[in-house]
Structure formats: C-alpha cells, structure tokens
C-alpha cells in the first residue's frame, strides 16, 4: 500500500543556493527549503512510497541530486503523523503519556 510521507533532509552545505531554482527542480515533491537548527540546508519533501524506508531512501537521493550536496540527516514520517504533530488534525493518541521514575 502506498502512502504519502513527509521527509526533512539536511544536506552538508551552508552555501546559499538559488532557492527558486531548487524549488522548481523539486516541484513534484511539494518542496520547501530552509536552514536547519544546525545551519545546514534543509529540504522538506512530500512523496509517495510503499514503506518508510523507501520514502527515506528516495528523499535522500532526490535532495542530494537537487542540491549537489551529501545528505547528512533525514527525518521521515507519514503525512498523517506530520499533520498531527503540527496540530492540523487531532491526535489519535489522546493525552501524551508521562514517564514515571521510581
């Protein structure tokens, strides 16, 4: 079964790229481009895949090819999970659990 996944890929460059050109090259993935918390170029993509692993591999490959830089980090999740984390839809988990220490 194919699902839509959201991937955030950091690539090993801090050099500014032509954002409009990069967005155009990645247009089929509904991209956004920014800077990660550590200062690396970060590309966010939406892509269909049959598994989380396949989505990650595709996202890494696509981001590296588009930027010309090595991927150094990749965070991938289903579109539903992404929407829940961003408050776009109510969480199916209910209240967050608290971890108790003895």
pLDDT tens profile 15-28? 778 889 999 999 99
Architecture field, domain 3-81: 2-Layer Sandwich (3.30)
How many CB atoms lie under 10 A from the CB of residue 96? 7
Q: Is the Cβ–Cβ distance between 55 and 73 less than 8 Å?
A: no
Give the Å distances, CA to CA, from 56 to 9, 89, 91, 98. Answer: 9, 24, 23, 30
pLDDT tens profile 37-95? 999 999 999 999 999 999 999 999 999 999 999 999 999 999 999 999 888 777 665 55
């Amino acid at each position: 079964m194919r699902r839509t996944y959201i991937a955030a890929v950091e690539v090993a460059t801090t050099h500014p790229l032509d954002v409009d050109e990069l967005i155009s090259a990645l247009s089929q993935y509904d991209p956004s481009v920014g800077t990660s918390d550590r200062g690396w170029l970060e590309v966010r993509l939406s892509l269909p895949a049959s598994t989380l692993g396949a989505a990650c591999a595709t996202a890494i490959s696509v981001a590296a090819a588009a930027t010309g830089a090595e991927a150094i980090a990749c965070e991938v999740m289903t579109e539903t999970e992404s929407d829940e984390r961003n408050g776009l839809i109510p969480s199916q988990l209910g209240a967050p659990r608290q971890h108790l220490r003895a």
